Chains A and B, each alone.
Chain A
Amino acid sequence: SQQGEEDPQALSIQEGENATMNCSYKTSINNLQWYRQNSGRGLVHLILIRSNEREKHSGRLRVTLDTSKKSSSLLITASRAADTASYFCAFLSGSARQLTFGSGTQLTVLP
């Protein structure tokens, strides 16, 4: 299956700074979702953006989607040490009912 690609692979920032992660994909999509995975845990859904939306907010999260560039970004504002985790984009395309996951970004927020 066509995976999404994320960059950077790893990101280390200080508490209070903003963190931006990017996701690119190759096919047309129905929606794009972001998930967080804490060490040793399962993935947790964070936010979903539909193909006809350009920006969405949820608390300290901001997601943008540019379908012309086939890319999305996740911005976490005012980061906290508790935001340390891996973040994955996942997208739904065509008639598929399964998500295609990206390779993930490992975010470390230093206190």
Chain B
Amino acid sequence: DAGVIQSPRHEVTEMGQEVTLRCKPISGHDYLFWYRQTMMRGLELLIYFNNNVPIDDSGMPEDRFSAKMPNASFSTLKIQPSEPRDSAVYFCASSLVGASYEQYFGPGTRLTVT
């Protein structure tokens, strides 16, 4: 298996622009998580899905952030409009129920908003 796939790996955009991050989880995994990592705040859980349904989005910082999972093999995290404080590394992770919830992380998307 190719593991969790994220795209793009790097994104540089100007303040006010829309940003869309993409994730393909490991085939067969039924949980998908979006995290944000910064030096100041560490690793923060933004939202997670179970069987494509959002379960907990309490970590989503503002209404500017939205996430979707239209099917079992694809999820997006959108920021609109983006702001410089959104600059961070965004990780997607997936896991399988019954496997002690061990998570498999993607390589991350480094977002820079200027």
Q: Which of B4, B31, B56 contacts A42 (CB 8 A)?
A: B4
Choose the segment among B60-68, B77-85, B95-103 that binds chain A (4+ C-beta atoms closer than 8 Å).
Answer: B95-103
A41 contacts which chain B residues (CB < 8 A)?
Answer: 107-108
Q: Which of B4, B103, B107 contacts A45 (CB 8 A)?
A: B103
B107 with A88: CB separation less than 8 A: no
Q: In the docked arrangement, what's the CA distance between A44 and B43, Å?
A: 14
Which chain A residue has the least Cβ–Cβ distance from B33?
A98
Query: Shortest CB–CB separation between residue A48 and chain B, in angstroms?
Result: 6
Known contacts A3-B42, A45-B102, A50-B100, then 16 further A-B pairs from the complex at CB < 8 Å, ordered by chain A residue: A1-B45, A35-B105, A42-B106, A42-B107, A43-B103, A44-B105, A45-B104, A90-B103, A92-B100, A97-B48, A97-B97, A98-B45, A98-B56, A99-B103, A101-B45, A104-B42
Determine how close the nearest CB of chain B comes to the CB of A9; give it in whole angstroms.
11
**Chain A residues within CB distance 8 Å of chain B:** 1, 3, 31, 33, 35, 40-45, 48, 50, 88, 90, 92, 97-99, 101, 103-104
B4, B56, B59, B101: the one contacting A99 at CB < 8 Å is B101
CA distance A82 to B45 in the complex (A): 28
Label chain A's interface by main secondary structure. strand
- A101 partner residues in chain B, CB cutoff 8 A: 42-43, 45
Binding site for A on B (CB under 8 A): 4, 31, 33, 42-43, 45, 48, 50, 55-56, 59, 91, 93, 97, 100-108
Whether B42 pairs with A97 at a CB distance below 8 angstroms is: no
Most buried by A among B31, B33, B43: B43
Chain A's nearest CB lies how many Å from the CB of B46? Answer: 11
Cβ contacts under 8 Å, A33 to chain B: 100, 102
Shortest CB-to-CB span from B111 to chain A, Å, is 14
Tell me how far the C-beta of B23 lies from the nearest C-beta in chain A, rounded to whole angstroms: 11
Closest to B4 in A: A42
Set of chain B residues within 8 Å of A42, measured between Cβ atoms = 4, 91, 93, 105-108
